[in-house]
Each structure stands twice: as C-alpha cells, then as structure tokens.
Structure 1
C-alpha cells in the first residue's frame, strides 16, 4: 500500500488517484494507513459520490485539496487540521453555503467556489490575509462583502460568468490586485476606487491556463 501512495506523491496528474478513490467504498478508504504521503488530492469525478472520507485529517502533508464533480453537500471541519493546505477548490457540487471553517485556514493562498449553490460569501473572507487568488466563476453570488478588501495580498479575482452585479467600492485598497476577470458576469460597473491602470494587459487571467494545477474556464 505504501508503494501505491508513493506513486502519487508530488504528482500533478490526479486522474489515476481520483479514479481509485471513487472505486472504493467508505470502509476500504477508512483502512488506509499511509495518507500522510499525499500532497495533492481530488475528491470527485463521480456525481454519485456524497461523502468525504473522515480519514482526510491524516493527510498532514496535503497542500492542495479539490472537491469536484460530486454530490457532497457538507464538508467536515476536520480539514482545518491540515496545516500545510495552500489551495482549496469547491466546484460542480451542491454546496449551499461556504463552510465557515474555510476562513480559519490562515495560510490559504488559492480558493475557488465554482458552479456551486452558494449565494453569499461570508464576511469571514477577510480573515484570509495570505489569499492571492479567489475564483468565483459561474457562481450564484450577486454581491461580495466589503471584508474582501481586507485580503491585502489578493492578486487575482475572477467572477467569470457569475451573477455578481456589484463589487465592493473599497476594492481599490487592494494594491496587489493585477487581474480582475469579469467576463460573462452580470457586473454593471467597476468600483470608482479601483485604479484600472494596475490591471495590466500582459497579466490578464485570460492568458493563464492554470494556477497551482487548476484549469481555468
């Protein structure tokens, strides 16, 4: 079993491990003894999958965690025990609320809520001081909280294809922001405080194929 997990250690091609996870039931996953070697993990690929293995808390080396194409409605807060986590992705799943424990992950740098049923981004987003990249593509959000402006290290914000109509007026305080993707969104106008000269053409989201392993829309 150890040799199996070593195969996926430091590997960017998630497909084999993703398919393997979906083949096994909860009892088999529970018996795994070598979860600490995993650094990247996707849970999904099967829209009938409706649970998160409780043993995920033993993935202490996990840096990137993605929930994608599943039927999971609730994600356990045990994930806050993953102190090395830098990237967290929720997409193509029936999640109705952004889990508040997400905003306790103080070292989180990349966060995605895409194609979920979330209609409100909690004000706790402001706790993520190290957040560099926030992707809210094709979301049902209509507004974003002012607390987003407390994410002082935010560099990339995408509301691609979302329902967002209004952005926080304080967005101009984010001096490190260089990419704002509003394509196909319902945004009516940019905040007057935003210095558009900092949104450089050569660093637009449209020219980025992936960030930390995630393919962009």
Structure 2
C-alpha cells in the first residue's frame, strides 16, 4: 500500500510539474515580462505561424473550462512561452470584450473580463499539461493564440460538385471516387499521409496544408494525374519528403515547413513548373541545389532567411518568376543574368546595394520590384531593358534621380517613394510614357510642396500621369 501511495504521489507530482505557469497579463511585473521576452523571443518565419493543431487544442481546453455559450462576446488572448520541447512553460492571458486588446484606455467596464481572466488562470493549467506544439520543437519562443466563442453567421451551403471532396469523413464516404479531381484535407489534424487519397486515381489537386505531417511518401503511380500538391504549414524536413517519379506534377507548395534546402523530391517531378519554398530556413542552399530543376518557371524564397543566393541559380534557364522578398541578401550573383526568360524579378526587402551590371541580359523582365533595399544608383545598362513596365525602387538610398529611367518608353508605373531626393527631380518631366508615379516620403515633399512644385506637378498631370505624393 505504501509503495502504491508513493508511486501515486510521484506521478501526481510529475503531472503538476508538467503544467504551465498561468498568469493574468495585467498582473505580470515588468521585470518578469522583460525576462520572458529575453528567454522566449518572438521568432520570425515559419515557426511563428500559429498551427491549426495549436488553435484547436486551446479551443477545446477553454470549452472544458468554461460554459462557452455564456461568454460569446469575449475573446481570450494567450501568450505562450514555449520551451524547446514544444511544451508551455508560461501562459499569460488577457480577456477582452470583442476583439479589442486591452490597452488601459478602454472606458467600458472591464470587471467581468478581469474576473473571467482570474477564473481561467486557476483552471486552465491541467487541460494543457499534455500540450505539445510539434511544429516549434527545437525553438524556445513565444506564440500568440486567441480564442473567441462568438456565434458565427450561418452561411448558405455551396453547391457541391462531384469533383470536389473536403475532409476525411467525406473522402471515406464518397462512392464515385473516379469523378473526384480535388481533395481538400487542410487543417484536418493529420500527422501522417492518409491512405484514403489513393481512392481517387483521377485526382488533380491535393491540399494537405496546416497539418502536423512529419513525412511524406507519395506513390505517384497511383495518382498519375496529380498536378497540384500543397504541403505548406507542416513539419516536413529535407529528407522526409519522397515523391515518386512523375510527369504530371506542375506545382509543389512546401512553404512554412522545416526545410533548409531544395528537397530531392522536387527533381522527381519532370514537369514541375512552380516551386514555392518561402517561410523556410533555406540556409543549406548550395550551387548543387539547383541541379535538375530546368522545367521550373516560378520559384519562391519569400522570407527564407537567405544571406546569399548561390550562383547555381543560373542553371534554372527556364525561370520566369524569381521571388526573394524579405531576406538578408546584400548582393546578387552574376549568374542571375543567365535567367534570360525571367519576366518578374522580385528582390525587395533585402540589403542589396547594387543591381547586376549586366542586368540588360534579362531582356524579358517587365516587372522589377527592388524596393526596401540600399540602392544608391542603377546600372547603366538597365536602359536596354525595353520591356520594363513596372519599376519599384521605393525606400532605397537614392539621393539623385537615376537618369537611366528617362530611357524607358513603355513604363506604366514607377515608384520612387521614401528615397532622399532633396529637390523635385526635373528629369521626371522627360519620361515619355507613364501611368502612375509614386513620390511619397521624399524630403522635397514638405508642407509647401504642392505650391512650390505646382508647375512640375501640373506638367505631369497634363501627360495623364497619376501622381501620388
């Protein structure tokens, strides 16, 4: 009996230890708040995104703690301090009426919300003892989750198409599986690839986003018509993705996973045209990463924590769209000028100091997004890019107007916002064709700008140029 009691007490103690420390936000001292902010930082990128499994766990926990039908007007704001095992060390919560975050300035009575927060703080911990944020394992960080129990408006049911199936239950119940072309299994709390997908041999689109799937082994011989595969917002790593050789898959979405390099599985798709890898930590890219990807026309490295783009990118000779928004690039490789089919060149929100000198080799580019960089001049040969229609150079380090811009005859939109022009760039008046011009945020646009530069602005408007200043 003593042994039984001892074991019981030990197990109970361990369970208590596993529970998070729950605090009401307004009662957290500044000292503790600073400590938690240091130890559990907010991390940019894929791990910051709130997984559907986390949201679902919190909604169920609060349903167990509260009579939710009585609190339809209230929202519970939760700040989770997650350790490297994905468990909650600290939970700080605030309750507000509606969706407004309490900021101390609300005039309405907050006594009910405060009382509700106090009650929750004493009851919620046991319901989160087994909580694990699988997608954030390995990162000690904070995450925001809000829960609201408002009554959702009843929407009219959409006319069901025989070719579209949504959810596991419907997938299992569908009788005429040969008609199904689209299968939606996003946010289904999946941890593995469900075998039910193979019931639909004529499947063309498969959506598996925002689950907790850690590995994929897709038999493409059983899905010979699949052309669109969405695996975004899962827990996939470089070597956990296997896709059988195929000539059908055209789009592969791997955004917001735990990938560091272009997975080999992409090379198994001989007709792949679109490869999205944004919101991953693509720190493992090398020149070899771009081998055997010649069919790809659109590649996305949005928020991929890139500090350098390997010169191997030049091997992707059929590339038409390159997106490296929100990275840490300071320069672009010379080999990028080998991408002669490129039409969309998006390098905004980096630290790039100059564009490639031979950018003129990118003759087909008609859209250039290079805003929010450190550009202080343009390469001379950019004047040979006759197809340019949209040029966004906003929020760079330009102090003098780039004379090269006058050479363009097909320009539709030019953005020079947020640069450092001390005076109105008179060369703008020489541009022969332009529909929209953005000048906001430049030093010359003071309070008296409209009067001071009325003649120049009038000349632009006479050319039917819409000016934003």
Q: TM-score range by the shorter chain?
A: 0.7 to 0.9
Quote the Cα distance in structure 1 between the aligned partners of 2:181 and 2:387. 43
Q: Among 349, 353, 356, which residue is 1:165 paired with?
A: 353
Q: Among 89, 92, 105, which residue is 2:279 paired with?
A: 92
Equivalent position of 2:369 in the other structure:
181
Query: 5 Å matches for 1:4-83?
Result: 6-8=181-183, 9-11=203-205, 16-19=207-210, 22-24=211-213, 26=215, 29-30=216-217, 34-46=222-234, 48-50=235-237, 53-58=240-245, 60-83=247-270
Q: Deviations over 1:160-202 (max 9, x none)?
A: 2122222110001221111110122233322111026532247
- Alpha carbons of structure 1 residues 190 and 57: separation in structure 2 relative to 1, 3 Å: farther
Quote the Cα distance in structure 2 between the aligned partners of 1:31 and 1:134. 27
Q: What is the aligned length?
A: 198
Residue 283 of structure 2 is aligned to residue 108 of structure 1: no
Equivalent position of 1:131 in the other structure:
319
Alpha-carbon offset, residue 53 of structure 1 = 4.4
Quote the Cα distance in structure 1 between the aligned partners of 2:217 and 2:324. 32
* Greater relative contact order, per chain length (Cα 8 Å cut-off, separation 6+): 1
Q: Among 336, 350, 360, which residue is 1:148 paired with?
A: 336
- Structure 2 regions of 5+ residues with no counterpart? 1-170, 172-176, 184-202, 391-410, 416-469
Equivalent position of 2:387 in the other structure:
198
TM-score under structure 2 length normalisation: 0.38
Alpha-carbon offset, residue 158 of structure 1 = 0.5
Rg larger for? 2
Alpha-carbon offset, residue 126 of structure 1 = 1.8
Q: Deviations over 1:13-40 (max 9, x none)?
A: x7x5324xx25554xx547673433211
Quote the Cα distance in structure 2 between the aligned partners of 1:174 and 1:161. 21
